[in-house]
């Protein structure tokens, strides 16, 4: 499933729709270059879950936990992770196999430890169309994500 968006608001709306549909134990993996909109997807996702806290990218802390929504949100940013052992040391398995929803920015850096079941969200800039244009591709892997087909922009 692919969407072409031309604004931050539409990017956040895709995250919002995913957050509204997310279930406990779901894992969402975001990839894309710097400045493509991963954190905007994350902010929309948190709103869709009903999270009331201010969402920031956990670049230096690796994971931020938000508990004010209908499910706990575990927001990872693994951009500065040197190897998978580093993220395993913070209890990665306990998060992704727990009762919350995991959202992982820069997930391509830890592909070797991702679970079999997850949703990959790839964001690419489309400069030939304009500065704000992005292609957001959403692809579920494994079981349990049939609800992804319900997404409409």
Structure tokens at 88: 């395993």
> What CA–CA distance (Å, rounded) separates 127 from 136?
14
The full set of domain ranges for the chain reads 1-142
Name the CATH topology of 1-142. Rossmann fold (3.40.50)
Chain centre to alpha carbon of residue 110: 14
Residue 111 has what DSSP assignment?
Answer: G
Q: Return per-residue pLDDT of the chain as tens, 153 residues.
A: 999 999 999 999 999 999 999 999 999 999 999 889 999 999 999 999 999 999 887 777 889 999 999 999 999 999 988 888 889 998 999 999 999 999 999 999 999 999 999 999 999 999 999 889 999 999 999 888 988 877 776
- pTM value is 0.93
């Amino acid at each position: 499933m692919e969407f072409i968006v031309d604004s931050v608001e539409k990017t956040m709306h895709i995250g919002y729709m995913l957050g509204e549909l997310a279930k406990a134990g779901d894992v969402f993996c975001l990839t894309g270059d710097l400045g493509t909109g991963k954190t905007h997807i994350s902010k929309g996702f948190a709103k869709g879950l009903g999270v009331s806290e201010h969402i920031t990218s956990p670049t230096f802390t690796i994971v931020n936990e938000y508990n004010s929504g209908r499910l706990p949100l575990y927001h990872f940013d693994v951009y500065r992770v040197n190897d998978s052992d580093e993220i395993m040391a913070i209890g990665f398995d306990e998060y992704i196999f727990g009762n919350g929803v995991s959202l992982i920015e820069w997930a391509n850096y830890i592909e070797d430890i991702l679970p079999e079941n997850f949703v990959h969200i790839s964001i690419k800039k489309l400069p030939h169309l304009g500065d704000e244009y992005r292609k957001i591709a959403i692809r579920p892997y494994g079981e349990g994500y049939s609800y992804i087909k319900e997404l409409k922009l």
